[in-house]
Structure 1
Amino acid sequence: MGALLAIDPIAFKIGSLSVHWYGLILGLGAIVGMLIAMREGKRFGLPQELFMDILLFGVPSAIICARIYYVAFQWDQYKNDPLKVFAIWEGGIAIYGALIGAVICAVIYTRIKGYSFWRIADLCAPGLLAGQLIGRWGNFVNQEAYGGETTEGFLRGTLHLPDFIVNQMNVEGIYRHPTFLYESCWNIVGIILIFIIRRRKFVRAGEIFIGYFIWYAIGRFFIEALRTDSLAFHGPSWLASLIHGMWTPMTWFGFQEGYLDPAYGNIRISQLLAIVFFVVAIVLIIVRRKNGQANIRYSDPIVSSKIQNAPAAIDEKHRVEGVSAESVPTHGRTHAPESADPASADKSDSSAPPGEDSARKE
């Protein structure tokens, strides 16, 4: 039944060209992520083209690095036919590689434009989670990156999933854990948390983006072990035991690890990287705060260093406007000396629209 009702991975055809749902869904995820970043960037007065360019250059960089990452850990499949490395349409990309590629591109591009990478990365963090949660539905359509064996009763009775998901999770007659859905839900919670805390006074520049890695690493660590297609390698038994022990809490909720062929490896690479990313992110937050590199708040203005004399120009404009306002004569009466009435001076100063100074700095 599952095979008969499975979704066709091909959305439509243009002549001999097949357009796959996977590509369309990934494209949708990228656009939604960009729009979220643009909306937040607008609050800081940033040009919308900045985020369009980051997407334009970031997507190819992410795809290339995602492919390199996958091939590096699956070299045995390609060493006898290296040209297959370029056959990306046959599948074989990894999200960790995509993240590395996107970050490298963003670091280079923001430096060229004179913006702080950390400030721009903070704005992009919720968009990254949104793009990933949408992109995982491409795996759903392709019936890939699923988890270990489960029961129809668990999918329908415990998770209360609709028919189209339950049927799609029937792969070759065996019901599988919808790991794509688990990760999507985890990312939704992450987006909500970012929206809640990002304007809190304790949040410093860069910590939203670093927090994104912490959140993603936690979710990926626990969800990855459910899968049966993980990239893996042979590592020390103590490390494998440590990772397995850290994952044990999942068994309290009735989950079991997906099958991993011992001949293929005993340590899932994505789980190990999740631990590394988590630890590095925590250390980075602590070090940046201790070294005084996190003095800027998330809500502070974002200014490009390429705009020459921008702060001086703002101050000069403010000074000139203030002098001009003081020099405007009042009809029917003369100016009082500065020392005549401090109260009236305060009253005159207070006539400026509230927030004008902060508006200029923004």
Structure 2
Amino acid sequence: MILPASIPSPTIHSIQLGPLTLHFYALFILSGIAAAVWLTSRRLTHRGGPPGVVLDIALWAVPFGILGGRLYHVVTHPTDYFYPGADLWKILFVWEGGLAIFGAVTFGSLGAYIACRRAGIRFLSFADALAPGMLIAQSLGRLGNYFNQELYGAPTTLPWGLEIDPMMSPAFPAGLPADTLFHPLFLYEILWNLFGVAVILLSERRFDLRWGKVIGVYFIWYGIGRSWLESLRLDPTEFLLFGLKINMVTAMLIALLGVVIITVQSQRHTAPETSVFLPGRAPAVPATQGAADVNPLPETTTRSNRRERRP
């Protein structure tokens, strides 16, 4: 079998169904959300959460996340949207690409926190259940970047170099030949994220990762990987901090946040987490259950009482 000398990029990024245009970027984002909701629901229910509550939380978190992801992208790429003669409506064209994970996580967390308070669920318990699903969702989302030809790194001669069409990618570096191959950063991140899912699930089996420690591992893992990937990206950025791209700084801060969460929560909570509910918000015992069903007496005590009541 002859292996390909490069990774070809798709020649289309949407399909037309009558009057409806389906953009692959949007479809992969939605499929990632669906996968994350399904896995998070299974994990939270397994920990004692009520069935269906994850979907209720997602109805808050997803719109907040999309809004935050788009806002972060537009703010950090202002010249892509604000210039003489620009069509400002394109700020809303999410399907064309441009959802920043850092903004999505920040705003999505706010929406999830509000929903968790309404449902009586501990926010960090929900976040722990969500962590591996987030990495799966991000992996599926990166396939959307592949179809949009918008996430690649420096030129490379490696056999897995990514082909990019200069006419389809506005970030194609000027002066390079059209047949230049690039590092497929979308693929690197997919592999890194999926490996992170395995790390989280295996770590949960080995250690007592509750009270927010799983989401801490997620922050560390994703922050480290994203810092490295951002150093390879060619996308122009207009925001630098300490001479570094703003996304690199944000990724490093996220990894540091993960370390802080694990350290603080390990000191604050030494006992196992026994409930995902906020204090006083656990479901009440059904009224159909009698007192004996809730806290039955030991069999030996019951027999002793019977003997004492004999004439």
TM-score under structure 2 normalisation?
0.80
* Structure with the bigger percentage of helix: 1
Contact 1:115 1:305 in 2 (8 A): no
Following superposition, the deviation at residue 146 of structure 1 comes to 0.9
Q: Which residue of 2 aligns with 1:128?
A: 134
Distance 1:7 1:320 in 2: 61
Contact 2:153 2:184 in 1 (8 A): yes
Following superposition, the deviation at residue 135 of structure 1 comes to 1.1
Distance 1:184 1:84 in 2: 28
1:268–1:318 CA distance, 2 compared to 1 (3 A):
farther
Provide Cα deviations, 1:18-76, integer angstroms capped at 9, x if missing partner.
Answer: 21211111111111111111221231232331111222322221111111111212234
Work out the percentage of aligned pairs sharing the same amino acid: 30
Distance 1:64 1:16 in 2: 26
Q: Which residue of 2 aligns with 1:143?
A: 149
Distance 1:57 1:87 in 2: 21
Distance 1:199 1:317 in 2: 36
Matched, 1:102 2:76: no
1:150 corresponds to which letter in structure 2? T
1:143–1:87 CA distance, 2 compared to 1 (3 A):
closer
5+ residue gaps, structure 1, are 157-165, 241-266, 338-362
Following superposition, the deviation at residue 213 of structure 1 comes to 0.7
1:70 to 66, 70, 73: 73
Distance 2:271 2:74 in 1: 40
Matched, 1:155 2:130: no
Q: Which residue of 2 aligns with 1:115?
A: 121
Following superposition, the deviation at residue 268 of structure 1 comes to 1.3
Larger radius of gyration: 1
2:62 to 33, 38, 59: 59
**What pairs up with 1:181-200 in 2 under 5 angstroms?**
181-200=187-206
The secondary structure found in structure 2 opposite 1:198 is helix
1:9–1:282 CA distance, 2 compared to 1 (3 A):
same
Distance 1:318 1:149 in 2: 72
1:51 corresponds to which letter in structure 2? V
Q: Which residue of 2 aligns with 1:287?
A: 264
Q: Which residue of 2 aligns with 1:277?
A: 254
Q: Which residue of 2 aligns with 1:30?
A: 33
Which 4+ runs in 1 deviate beyond 6 A? 326-330
Matched, 1:9 2:12: yes
In angstroms, what is the RMSD of aligned CA positions? 3.5
1:283 corresponds to which letter in structure 2? V
1:106–1:316 CA distance, 2 compared to 1 (3 A):
farther
1:155 corresponds to which letter in structure 2? P
Contact 2:219 2:257 in 1 (8 A): no
Following superposition, the deviation at residue 87 of structure 1 comes to 3.5
1:297 to 263, 272, 281: 272
2:114 corresponds to which letter in structure 1? I
Distance 1:41 1:309 in 2: 15
Q: Which residue of 2 aligns with 1:322?
A: 296
The secondary structure found in structure 1 opposite 2:232 is coil
Q: Which residue of 1 aligns with 2:223?
A: 217
2:10 corresponds to which letter in structure 1? I
Following superposition, the deviation at residue 121 of structure 1 comes to 0.6
The secondary structure found in structure 2 opposite 1:59 is helix
Distance 2:291 2:73 in 1: 54
1:14–1:120 CA distance, 2 compared to 1 (3 A):
same
1:50 to 36, 49, 53: 53
Distance 1:295 1:319 in 2: 31
Distance 1:308 1:215 in 2: 32
2:226 corresponds to which letter in structure 1? R
Following superposition, the deviation at residue 17 of structure 1 comes to 2.3
Following superposition, the deviation at residue 183 of structure 1 comes to 0.8
Matched, 1:180 2:155: no
Q: Aligned pair count?
A: 291
Contact 1:224 1:230 in 2 (8 A): no
1:93 to 78, 96, 99: 99
Contact 2:125 2:210 in 1 (8 A): no
2:272 corresponds to which letter in structure 1? R
Contact 2:25 2:95 in 1 (8 A): no
Following superposition, the deviation at residue 324 of structure 1 comes to 8.9
Higher relative contact order (CA 8 A, sep 6+): 2
